[in-house]
Amino acid sequence: MDLLLDRFLRYIAVETRANPDATKTPSSEGQLTLAELLADELRSLELDDVNVDQYGYVTARLPGNQGDLVPAIALIAHLDTAPDLSGLNEEVNTFVYEGGDITLQSGSVISETDIPQLKNMVGETLITTKGDTLLGADNKAGIAIVMSAVDRLRKKDDPRGDVMVVFTPDEEIGHGADLLDLEQLGARFAFTIDGGELGEFETENFNAASVKVDIQGRITHPGSAKGLMVNAGLIASEFVSMLPAGQRPELTADREGFIMLDKIDASIDEATLSLIIRDHDKTRFAEKKAVIEEAVRYLNKKHGERIRLTIEDQYQNMAEVLVDHPYIEELALEAMADEGVTPLRVPIRGGTDGARLTLRGLPCPNLFTGGYNFHSKTEFASLDQMRKAVDVVTRIILNAANKAW
């Protein structure tokens, strides 16, 4: 079997679904299972300093042969899959795509209308689930790509610097970069291998914040409620009605930000709303926060200080830092050109470990994996595009040795 495919299938067979309600890292035991599997494989590839720490971070080093002349570069992917669906895959479909819509065993359909890129994939080997689980290309395709690139590099005598391999837990619930020791890692810069479509190279992402609105009502018997009852559920509805109607995720794209109502739990006595705010632009991001703050101020004045608002920043746009490190972008674009890949520059409508690491001091843009429809029952991956990602990652490491640092 193709070694890249073999790796990918072994990794997606381990359930690593993140648990957003957990109070520990990693949030699921399966992530530790995969971490140990990967550490054993890294040892078999004879990498140095292979380690799995108590939080499930996997680190290893492929030694370079240029001393300090070439900086260490980290390659990063994450262990977990999204909480939305099970990621346990006991059976998948691997086939050469011949065109048209793809109907999975569950009846779910991967449609050319929804994924117009399919029209360019005729003849490629695609991998899907049966349509009732996540495939896990996000981000086990990234893990397989990193492993395969490192395996290829270790067999070459070409000049190169140290390559630091990092697999992180709980990226999908926003904690993947929290506990990585950057000083011990010792890399000058890094790449997350966590993008989608062939050629994606991402150097900007959303600014992000979480919002919690707690509303305290007053419950009384409805027969004697006049002048006494305060319905928290109705106040919650009033708050939602004050949000900008055109700034919902289903109505926005590209660099358009949004405010999304994620969850609402309401009764007469109390109500809790969870929302998220996203925008690439720092000023518009602040304006969205201000909209929510003003709505709460108004409703507190109207209903008597019954609402408590909590807004917490989650991550920032990495573009603000990466603009000061243009050599990283140049290195990636040169490698793509060398491997015949057309760069696809898109702003990430989300965040990655790379965004958080960049703001922590490790510049870290994002590269494609060849995966599509992430967080969906119709998630799929192109093996051909995964191979191209291996080529690009390998070329980045080799080209770095030819630069004047």
What tens digit of pLDDT does each residue of 281-291 get? 999 999 999 99
> Quick one: 186 and 249 in the same domain?
no
Mean predicted lDDT score pLDDT of the chain: 95
DSSP 19-63: -TT-SSSSSSHHHHHHHHHHHHHHHHTT-EEEEE-TT--EEEEE-
Cα–Cα separations (whole angstroms), residue 123 to 168, 227, 285, 370, 373? 33, 70, 43, 15, 19
Burial class (CB in 10 A: 0-12, 13-18, 19+), 142: buried
Active site residues: 80, 171
**Domain contains 355:** yes
Mean pLDDT of 322-341: 97
In this structure, of 2-16, 113-127, 345-359, the range with the lowest mean pLDDT score is 345-359
For residue 344, is pLDDT > 60?
A: yes
For residue 250, is pLDDT > 60?
A: yes
- Name the percent of the chain lying above pLDDT 90: 92
User: Can you give the residue range of the structural domain that contains 363?
Assistant: 3-204+317-400
Number of other CB atoms surrounding residue 293 within 10 Å = 13
Q: Which two tokens mark 295?
A: 């709505």
pLDDT of res. 315: 86
Residue (of 141, 143, 166) closest to 62 by Cα position: 166
> Quick one: 21 and 76 in the same domain?
yes
- For residue 242, the domain's CATH number is 3.30.70.360
Confidence tier at 391 by pLDDT (50, 70, 90): very high
26: preceding bond cis by omega (within 30 degrees):
yes
> Quick one: 304 and 329 in the same domain?
no
> Quick one: 138 and 19 in the same domain?
yes
For residue 233, is pLDDT > 90?
A: yes
Rg (CA), the chain: 23
**Domain contains 405:** no
User: CA-to-CA distance for 374 and 134, rounded, in angstroms?
Assistant: 8
> Quick one: 295 and 308 in the same domain?
yes
- Encode burial over 245-255: b for 16+ CB neighbours within 10 A, e otherwise: eebeeeebeee
User: CA-to-CA distance for 100 and 118, rounded, in angstroms?
Assistant: 8
User: CA-to-CA distance for 350 and 176, rounded, in angstroms?
Assistant: 14
**Domain contains 350:** yes
> Quick one: 354 and 310 in the same domain?
no
pLDDT of res. 178: 85
Give the single-character DSSP code of 190: E
> Quick one: 106 and 195 in the same domain?
yes
Quick one: the chain helix, strand, coil %, rounded to 5? 35, 25, 40
Cα–Cα separations (whole angstroms), residue 148 to 69, 141, 337, 359? 25, 10, 20, 28
Sheet holding 163-168, edge to edge: 48-52, 58-62, 163-168, 73-78, 189-193, 366-367, 200-202, 344-345
Give the single-character DSSP code of 251: G
pLDDT of res. 346: 85
Pair 61, 154: CB distance under 8 Å: no
pLDDT of res. 179: 92
- The count of residues in the chain is 405
262-283: per-residue pLDDT in tens? 999 999 999 999 999 999 999 9
Q: Which two tokens mark 81?
A: 């899959």
pLDDT of res. 147: 98
Q: Name every residue whose Cβ is closer than 8 Å to that of residue 163 and which is 6 or more positions away in sequence.
A: 61, 62, 64, 72, 73, 74, 75, 150, 153, 397
**Domain contains 91:** yes
pLDDT of res. 174: 82
> Quick one: 250 and 229 in the same domain?
yes
Confidence tier at 1 by pLDDT (50, 70, 90): low
For residue 175, is pLDDT > 90?
A: no
Cα–Cα separations (whole angstroms), residue 142 to 24, 76, 180, 403? 24, 8, 18, 26
Task: Please count the CA atoms within 13 angstroms of the CA of 392 that sit on its side-chain side.
Answer: 33
Among residues 280, 315, 350, the one where a domain terminates is: 315
> Quick one: 57 and 196 in the same domain?
yes
Mean pLDDT of 336-340: 98
139: preceding bond cis by omega (within 30 degrees):
yes
Among residues 300, 315, 330, the one where a domain terminates is: 315
User: CA-to-CA distance for 219 and 265, rounded, in angstroms?
Assistant: 16
315-324: per-residue pLDDT in tens? 889 999 999 9
Number of domains, the chain: 2
> Quick one: 184 and 126 in the same domain?
yes
Sheet holding 207-216, edge to edge: 258-266, 270-279, 207-216, 307-315
Among residues 266, 289, 315, the one where a domain terminates is: 315
> Quick one: 177 and 230 in the same domain?
no
296-317: per-residue pLDDT in tens? 999 999 999 999 999 999 888 9
Mean pLDDT of 328-339: 97
- Give the pTM: 0.89
Adjacent-strand bridge partners of 168: 78
> Quick one: 225 and 297 in the same domain?
yes
In this structure, of 73-77, 83-87, 193-197, the range with the lowest mean pLDDT score is 83-87
User: CA-to-CA distance for 290 and 293, rounded, in angstroms?
Assistant: 5
